[in-house]
Amino acid sequence: MRTAFRTARAGALLSALLAGAAPLPAAAAESTFDVTVLAAACANCHGTDGRSPGGIPSIAGRPEAILSSQLQAFKSDAPPANTTIMNRLVRGFSDDELNALARHFSQVRSQAPSQSPSQSGKRGH
């Protein structure tokens, strides 16, 4: 019984891998593109929604053109001086993905909206 389970699990894993490796038509790949998935990688350093809680710059609400230019500079063969890991991180993104990230973070408010007590789950007694 255990062998049958392992075989079924291996088959399901192989099917999932092969399905993920199958090339998609450009239109299909573009229609399923979700920039929020890419933006989640930025949260490790720049904070949730691009609002950094520490010494790393916040990117939320910055102008799209500036963000795009900075991302492209990090990706270039001669990244800006004092670049930490950004030059290595952005190499994994296409130019379209970098532009989408710049657009995404430019549209995020630089300050988180304040919550009323009813929205934050607090109840007055």
pLDDT digits (tens, 9 = 90+) for 38-82: 888 888 889 888 998 888 889 999 999 999 999 999 999 888 888
Q: Is the pLDDT of residue 15 over 60?
A: no
Contact by Cβ (8 Å): 74, 80: yes
What is the band of 5 on the pLDDT scale with cuts at 50, 70, 90?
very low
CA–CA dist 123, 27 (Å, integer) = 48
For the chain, what are the domain ranges?
33-111
pLDDT at 118: 53
Q: Tokens 């007590």 identify what position?
A: 117
Contact by Cβ (8 Å): 98, 72: yes
Class of the CATH-defined domain 33-111: mainly alpha
pTM over 0.75: no
Compute, in degrees rounded to 10, the torsion defined by CA atoms 93, 76, 101, 46. 100
Which tokens go with 62? 């910055």
Contact by Cβ (8 Å): 64, 106: yes
Distances from the Cα of 59 to the Cα of 47, 62, 65, 95, 116, angstroms:
9, 6, 12, 18, 25
CA–CA dist 62, 102 (Å, integer) = 9
